[in-house]
Copies of this chain bind each other. A is one copy, B any other.
Amino acid sequence: MPDVKHMKWYGWGVEGVSFHHEDKPKLRPFVLDIIDLDLDTPPGAQTELSDLPIPTPRISDELLEQLTEAVGLDNTVSEDEDRIVHTYGKSIRDLLRLRAGDIPRVPDVVIYPADEAEVQRVVDITVAADAVLIPFGGGSNIAGSLQAPENEERTVVSIDLGRLRRVLEIDEDSALARIQAGALGPDLEQQLNARGWTLGHFPDSFTHSTLGGWVATRSSGMQSDKYGDIADITRGLRMVMPGRVLEVRALPSTSSGPSVREMVLGSEGRLGVITEVSCQVHRIPEQRLILGYLFPSFEAGVAAMQEISASDAAPSITRVSDANETRFSFSTRKKSKGVSVSGLVSKGLMAVLARRGWDLDAVCLSFVGYEGGTDHVSRQKAIVKKIIASHGGIGLGKGPGELYDQKKFDTPYIRDFLLDRGAAADVSETGAPWSKLVPMYDNVTAAARKAFAQLGTQGFIMCHLSHSYHSGACLYFTFAFKHDGHEPLVQYDVVKAAVQQAFVDSAGTLSHHHGVGTEHAPWLADDISPAGVAMTEALFKGVDPGNNLNPGKITVTPTTSRA
């Protein structure tokens, strides 16, 4: 077996790490209150790998032999666990299906090439055999981008890029790094940091997602206000296509026709296998600081972030939670003496705010990050402070920000903990112009509440604004409800579809940084118009007439959702 790390086959993250609530005394009553779920409920029975109806690989001896010859015996894996790891990503649908043994099409073989030349051989062999090729990075996808079509009759080959994880070169004058596509976030940050550089790309999935996956799905990290989305960070790339390699030079800007770079970004394997990305990198800043703030309402917080985006300030993070997400944050206070958000938002402070006329149920927690030289940071802080004060906000200092910074990659573990106890929890995010954000927020929360009512369940939805741009921002929603135990996915789809429909009906995009896959494909025409879908299809069909490259993603409407 090749030396490539994978997450647990049945859930998020590494074996042996999971969420627990014993040290957070306020969380149990909070969750009981919002979705009528007792966190002390024992977890449901775990599905074992041996329980799964894993089909025998459908692959000809000839193809298997060719692939083995291309990458070596150790890197041609047909074992059940590896095939299951590569069957789905980590969406709630993926996990529920696995637990239900609903695995209609498992990859027939998993291939671990060592370098681009081996990737080329695998692509050429697969396409020549009219098999299906699905690129796999960290497996963190939650949009259904990794699964084979359920009725796929052809051989399905999963190509895992995990052995391509080196920073190949840093052009220090140009602040450009050539990095292999299979590098996980920590892999590449470690290699860059050792030489004084950072990519500055920290999505929530950071620890378990790869550079190639980020590019293929148009990822965005939490410091995107400073470092840009992955689409900005990606200056050049290499992608193996049948018979040849696409080489997009690392360029600051160009007018060489429609952007091929921007065709590969977001292509989710439908055009080829990304092997290398030339990324813009930054010197590790002299100072990094995240400050906490409170606003009297979500509207006030959004208005403040909007004003910051139009000002001369250039923070690295802008984030405002709504009242529900703020209450959730406060409920995760630990009983130990360590710093916590609510530890800093003391009863005393709340009393002061109440005297000032704040509605304490509407309080919204916010973070703003600053990076750069100390002069730069203190100037940014001063500009932001003034703007926040003008919208009625107050500063909380460094504590909450440091806590946020430490906890930021842990959220997906909570989802799995709830799932084990009969609750469905998921995230959906969108981007929209500033003027549309508050109306959209109202529409989405109303749509979710309506869906919960339709299901007869007590659901919960919370939201934060993050990723500010000159003309708009991302709204990131998290929703949860206790499902009926019988058809959790049918119930989930009611809520998910309501949220997605509210996004596109409210001038938003189907996803700000999670991609399209199969999960969001039903809303693509609403988002980019039927003509945009036709253009995208023309590109896919022209490049891949045999439909061998990760078929069924982005432009094909699946049967699974949208009533």
Q: Show the binding face of A for B, using Cβ within 8 Å.
A: 171-176, 217-220, 229, 231, 235, 239, 241, 244-268, 271, 280, 282-283, 306, 310, 312, 314, 372-373, 375-376, 379, 431-436, 467, 469-474, 507-516, 520, 524, 527-532, 534-539, 541-543, 554-555
Q: Which residues of B contact A543 (CB under 8 A)?
A: 534-535, 538
Q: Which residues of B contact A554 (CB under 8 A)?
A: 257-258
Option from B247, B283, B467, B471 in Cβ contact (under 8 Å) with A310: B283
Q: Which residues of B contact A471 (CB under 8 A)?
A: 174-176, 235, 250, 252, 280
**Given A267-B258, A434-B173, A528-B248: A538 in contact with B535 (beta carbons within 8 A):** no
Q: Kindly report which residue of chain B lies nearest to residue A532, judged by CB atoms.
A: B260
**Contact: A531 with B252, CB < 8 Å?**
no
**Contact: A255 with B515, CB < 8 Å?**
yes
Q: Which residues of B contact A474 (CB under 8 A)?
A: 252-253
| A306 CB → nearest B CB, Å | 7
Instruction: Report how far A235 CA is from B530 CA in the complex, Å.
Output: 18
Option from B256, B312, B435, B531 in Cβ contact (under 8 Å) with A266: B256
**Contact: B434 with A246, CB < 8 Å?**
no
Option from B256, B507, B539, B541 in Cβ contact (under 8 Å) with A524: B256
Instruction: Report how far A246 CA is from B520 CA in the complex, Å.
Output: 20
**Contact: A509 with B254, CB < 8 Å?**
yes
| A386 CB → nearest B CB, Å | 11
Q: List 11 A-B contacts (CB under 8 A).
A: A174-B433, A217-B255, A244-B531, A252-B433, A252-B470, A252-B473, A254-B527, A255-B515, A257-B536, A261-B262, A535-B543
Q: Which residues of B contact A524 (CB under 8 A)?
A: 256-257
Interface centre among A280, A472, A536 (most CB of B within 10 A): A472
Q: Which residues of B contact A376 (CB under 8 A)?
A: 312
Q: Which residues of B contact A508 (CB under 8 A)?
A: 251
Given contacts A174-B471, A539-B539, 7 further A-B contacts (CB under 8 A): A220-B253, A251-B431, A255-B266, A257-B268, A312-B373, A535-B543, A538-B539
Instruction: Report how far A507 CA is from B256 CA in the complex, Å.
Output: 14
6 nearest A-B residue pairs (beta carbon)? A538-B542, A262-B262, A252-B472, A218-B255, A252-B469, A174-B433
Q: Which residues of B contact A507 (CB under 8 A)?
A: 249
Q: Which residues of B contact A280 (CB under 8 A)?
A: 470-471
Copies of this chain, count:
2
Instruction: Report how far A554 CA is from B433 CA in the complex, Å.
Output: 33
Instruction: Report how far A506 CA is from B217 CA in the complex, Å.
Output: 31
Q: Which residues of B contact A267 (CB under 8 A)?
A: 257-258
Q: Kindly report which residue of chain B lies nearest to residue A509, judged by CB atoms.
A: B254
**Contact: A259 with B256, CB < 8 Å?**
no
| A197 CB → nearest B CB, Å | 11
| A79 CB → nearest B CB, Å | 33
**Given A245-B529, A310-B175: A535 in contact with B263 (beta carbons within 8 A):** yes
**Given A470-B175, A529-B245: A538 in contact with B536 (beta carbons within 8 A):** no
**Contact: B257 with A259, CB < 8 Å?**
no
| A524 CB → nearest B CB, Å | 6
Q: Which residues of B contact A261 (CB under 8 A)?
A: 262
| A229 CB → nearest B CB, Å | 6
| A473 CB → nearest B CB, Å | 6
Instruction: Report how far A143 CA is from B259 CA in the complex, Å.
Output: 18
Instruction: Report how far A461 CA is from B75 CA in the complex, Å.
Output: 55
**Contact: B252 with A263, CB < 8 Å?**
no
Instruction: Report how far A283 CA is from B307 CA in the complex, Å.
Output: 12
**Contact: A264 with B258, CB < 8 Å?**
yes
**Contact: B529 with A246, CB < 8 Å?**
yes
Instruction: Report how far A306 CA is from B171 CA in the complex, Å.
Output: 13
Interface centre among A264, A314, A529 (most CB of B within 10 A): A529
**Contact: B433 with A535, CB < 8 Å?**
no
Q: Which residues of B contact A217 (CB under 8 A)?
A: 255
**Contact: B312 with A372, CB < 8 Å?**
yes
Q: Which residues of B contact A231 (CB under 8 A)?
A: 253, 259
Instruction: Report how far A394 CA is from B135 CA in the complex, Å.
Output: 54
Q: Kindly report which residue of chain B lies nearest to residue A436, judged by CB atoms.
A: B174
Option from B262, B511, B530 in Cβ contact (under 8 Å) with A258: B262
Q: Which residues of B contact A173 (CB under 8 A)?
A: 306, 433-435
Option from B372, B373, B434, B514 in Cβ contact (under 8 Å) with A255: B514
**Contact: A174 with B435, CB < 8 Å?**
yes
**Given A472-B252, A509-B249: A555 in contact with B265 (beta carbons within 8 A):** no
Instruction: Report how far A67 CA is from B544 CA in the complex, Å.
Output: 38
| A192 CB → nearest B CB, Å | 15
Instruction: Report how far A171 CA is from B472 CA in the complex, Å.
Output: 11
Instruction: Report how far A282 CA is from B469 CA in the complex, Å.
Output: 13
**Contact: A257 with B555, CB < 8 Å?**
yes
Q: Which residues of B contact A244 (CB under 8 A)?
A: 530-531
Q: Which residues of B contact A537 (CB under 8 A)?
A: 542
Q: Which residues of B contact A251 (CB under 8 A)?
A: 431-433, 472, 508-509
**Contact: B470 with A255, CB < 8 Å?**
no
Instruction: Report how far A421 CA is from B167 CA in the complex, Å.
Output: 55
Q: Which residues of B contact A509 (CB under 8 A)?
A: 249, 251, 253-256
| A548 CB → nearest B CB, Å | 15
**Given A245-B531, A259-B262, A532-B260: A467 in contact with B253 (beta carbons within 8 A):** yes
